Amino acid sequence: MINKNVFLVSVIFIAILSRFIPHPPNFTPIAAIALLSSKGFNNRWVTLAIPIISLFISDLFLGLHATIPFVYGAFVLIALLGMTAKKISVGTVLLSSTIFFLVSNFGVWLVGYPITIDGLISCYTLAIPFFLNTILGDLVYSAVLIYPFYALQKKNLITA
């Protein structure tokens, strides 16, 4: 038997460490962490805090930036999405990627582009390659982090 909290904290710790391994831009585990925490922890405040704490710890080393409120806000929305979903599915993961793309790039537009329709279109257009990395990273990390949790839960190998 595996204690659920030990499992979740271990997975989250490993995911935080993975942000320090060389990877393509936006190919990170944070959306999967937000979704996993939404299904693993019963306390909604813990669920919302986990992705933010994961980001903040790694951002202290990787660097702070002007779009932090938008990036962190996107992951809070992703955690809320996970809380409302019955089960995390491929569709949920793709929706979380889209939420991150829309919210974080809105912040990029506000701090780095002319505040015009042309600036907005340019910002989102130039972000499309990053969106592909986001989708791939979210799918890979969700498969690696979330589905084992469900499998262990189904076999009653995870205890509260």
Mean pLDDT of 80-87: 96
Share of the chain above pLDDT 70, in %: 99
Tens of pLDDT, residues 14-49: 878 888 999 999 999 999 999 999 988 888 998 999
Hey, where are the domains in the chain? 2-159
Residue 82 near residue 88 (C-beta atoms within 8 A): yes
Q: Which one, of 25, 18, 4, 49, lies nearest residue 144 by Cα? A: 18
> 2 and 10 in contact (C-beta within 8 Å)?
no
pLDDT on residue 4: 81
- Split at pLDDT 50, 70, 90, the class of 157 is confident
How confident is the prediction for the chain on average, in pLDDT?
Answer: 92
Higher-pLDDT residue of 150 and 136 is 136
What pLDDT digit, counting tens, does each position of 44-71 carry? 998 999 899 989 988 999 999 999 999 9
For 2-159, CATH number out of 1.10.4100, 2.40.128, 1.10.1760, 3.30.390 equals 1.10.1760
pLDDT of residue 160: 65
Q: Which residue has the tokens 């042309």?
A: 118
pLDDT at 1 over 80: no
User: Where do the H-state alpha helices sit in 41-158?
Assistant: 44-62, 68-84, 90-112, 117-126, 128-154
Q: Is the dihedral of CA 131, 80, 73, 121 positive or negative?
A: positive
